[in-house]
Amino acid sequence: MQHEYMNTRVVSLMAWSGIVLVISLIVAQGWLMGFIPPPSPALSAEEIAQIYIDRKLAIRVGTLIECVGFTFYLTWSMSIIFFMKKMERGMPVLSYTAIANAGGGYVFFLLMPITWAALAFRPESLNPAFLQLANDYVWFVFILSWPPFAVFMVLIAVAVLGDKNPEPIFPRWVGFFNLWTALLIVPAGLVEFFYTGPFAYDGAISFWFVWIVFFGWIITMSVITLRAAGVEKARQLAQARAA
């Protein structure tokens, strides 16, 4: 069977970019901006406005880092999609769908730091009620945008579980892992109904649990993809020696 050549060095770098994304998020959003966890949705408009006034420089620096770091969602996604294409026979329907999905997810990622940067640009001149609304909006983008990411997880699962290669590219458990992860981030959809408690956008379930599951998924899939790239590199070297 004819195998397509894959530049495994580039694919590995793209897989690593997912880990860089998570690190940039922790440094920028957590350490610099102080937005891990989010400000409570139960805070008054004046309290929210004061947060942006007090942290405006840190938020600007943090969002600059995030605009770069979050760009890596696209490169990371493609490193997985390259292997999905190898799993499919005939027309790579899942892979093409995943490419479109990754582009949409990339937009959601960039909307967050761009909005935070705009709010921190001149927070003193903004009406507190407007700033509160915009702050709610950006956290809804962060958390309520779970469906396209869940769809990507399902697409990966279908590709992995349907892999007909003699030696599966990803272990079969990766398919079930993605299905479970897609299910576990569903509680993110409840943030629009609660101001306090575990399902609020700063809550134990809708934020902390979903946050850990989602970014843990990125790290796990990065490691799996790096391993697959290593196997592919070894296969290509063996094929080159045999030629």
pLDDT tens profile 12-55: 999 999 999 999 999 999 999 999 999 999 999 999 999 999 99
Per-residue pLDDT band for 2 (boundaries 50, 70, 90) equals very low
Q: Could you give the C-alpha distances from 149 to 167, 222, 231, in angstroms and in order?
A: 27, 15, 27
Q: Is residue 192 part of a domain?
A: yes
Residue with tokens 């943090």: 62
What pLDDT shows up at residue 45?
A: 97
Could you tell me if residue 240 is inside a domain?
Answer: no
- In the predicted structure, residue 122 carries a pLDDT above the cut 90: yes
Q: Count of domains in the chain? A: 1
pLDDT, residue 124, reads: 95
pLDDT-derived band of residue 238, with 50, 70 and 90 as boundaries? confident
Domain-located, residue 87: yes
pLDDT computed for residue 242 by the predictor? 82
**Averaged pLDDT of the chain:** 94
Q: Which residue has the higher pLDDT, 240 or 166?
A: 166
Does residue 52 lie in a domain region?
yes
What the block records as the tokens of 232 is: 């592919």
Q: Sorting pLDDT into bands at 50, 70 and 90, what band is 3?
A: low
- Residue numbers of the domain that contains 63: 8-235
So what's the pLDDT on residue 164? 85
Tell me the pLDDT tens digit for each residue of 85-96. 999 977 899 999
Q: Which residues, at least 6 apart from 216, have a Cβ–Cβ distance to it below 8 Å?
A: none
Output phi, psi for 54, to 5 deg.
-70, -35
Determine, yes or no, domain membership for 243: no
Q: Is residue 128 part of a domain?
A: yes
